[in-house]
Amino acid sequence: MSWRWIPPLLASGATQMAIDRWMLAQLASAADGGLLRLYRWSRPTLSLGRHQRRIEPHWLQLHACGEIDLVRRPSGGRAVLHAGEITYALATRPASAHRLSAYGEACRWLQEAFAGCGQPLGFGQLKATQAAQRGNCFASGTAADLVHADGHKRIGSAQLWQGPALLQHGSILLAPPAALWRRVFEEDPPALEPLPLKGEALEAQLREAARVHLCGGSLDERPLAEEEWSAIERFELDQGSGLA
């Protein structure tokens, strides 16, 4: 199966989530291979999981005063602050429909990339039911998350399935703004060691690890075409704010 690499994009949360939805639709409606991309958010944004119904009142206040944007993800999980991080998204048909097996298959490239940076990652041990009691995704690590040996969480991931097609996306925490993090979650961000790679060098490391360990050696770059942007805009209009 051939994989398509969509070059990194900087855009609003609403646009980024529309692209992710479009990626899954592409895979679900055609015989296309996998799609993979990295992206960043044009403004600090708090994304809420698909089933996360409780919106803290102070999140709405921070949104009203312009400190953060709010957006609903198509996948599950808890609130993620997109600032000082990089987000990945992939759409594929995993070999196994078992959720934890699919996470393992879809996260191996991330583990290889961070091992190459001298910071190996393993899966968290907390049960999902326990983690669901916390509103902050990075407050705990489940079997869907990648954590350091000291327990601090580096990558939180979530899924959305349509038949055999999977959308998995997640936040790779780099250097979150501590003051904003405390205003949003009323606690300090995870104490993470800085990475030896930054910016484009880190993105290149991630892309190469994905090519080898996710895509079977084939990862072809193809930017979004004009007609694809038109379809993505329709996804953005359809989803609205998604916060109701």
For Cα atoms 22, 28, 32, give the angle at the middle one, nearest 5 degrees: 90
Residue 182 belongs to a domain: yes
- 238 is written with which tokens? 């359809």
Residue 196 belongs to a domain: yes
Quote the pLDDT of residue 139: 67
Quote the pLDDT of residue 204: 97
Residue 86 belongs to a domain: yes
Pseudo-torsion of CA 17, 231, 209, 140, nearest 10°? 10
C-alpha to C-alpha distances, 50 to 71, 72, 125, 174, nearest whole angstrom: 10, 6, 23, 24
What is the spatial distance between Cα 222 and Cα 47, in angstroms, rounded to a whole number?
27
Residue 133 belongs to a domain: yes
- Specify the CATH number for the domain of residue 215: 3.30.930.10
Instruction: Name the residue among 41, 170, 172 with its Cα closest to residue 117.
Output: 172
What is the spatial distance between Cα 118 and Cα 41, in angstroms, rounded to a whole number?
27
Q: What is the H or E stretch that residue 161 is in?
A: strand 153-162
Residue 105 belongs to a domain: yes
Per-residue pLDDT of the chain in tens (244 residues, 90 and over written 9): 689 999 999 999 999 999 999 999 998 776 667 999 999 999 999 999 998 888 999 999 999 999 999 999 999 988 999 999 999 999 999 988 788 889 999 999 999 999 999 999 999 876 554 444 455 677 657 788 999 999 899 999 999 999 999 999 999 999 999 999 999 999 999 999 999 999 999 999 999 999 999 999 999 999 999 999 999 999 998 776 566 5
What is the spatial distance between Cα 80 and Cα 69, in angstroms, rounded to a whole number?
12
Quote the pLDDT of residue 130: 47
Residue 244 belongs to a domain: no
Bridge partners of 47, per DSSP, are 71, 80
Number of domains in the chain: 1
Domain of residue 106, residue span = 3-239
pTM over 0.85: yes
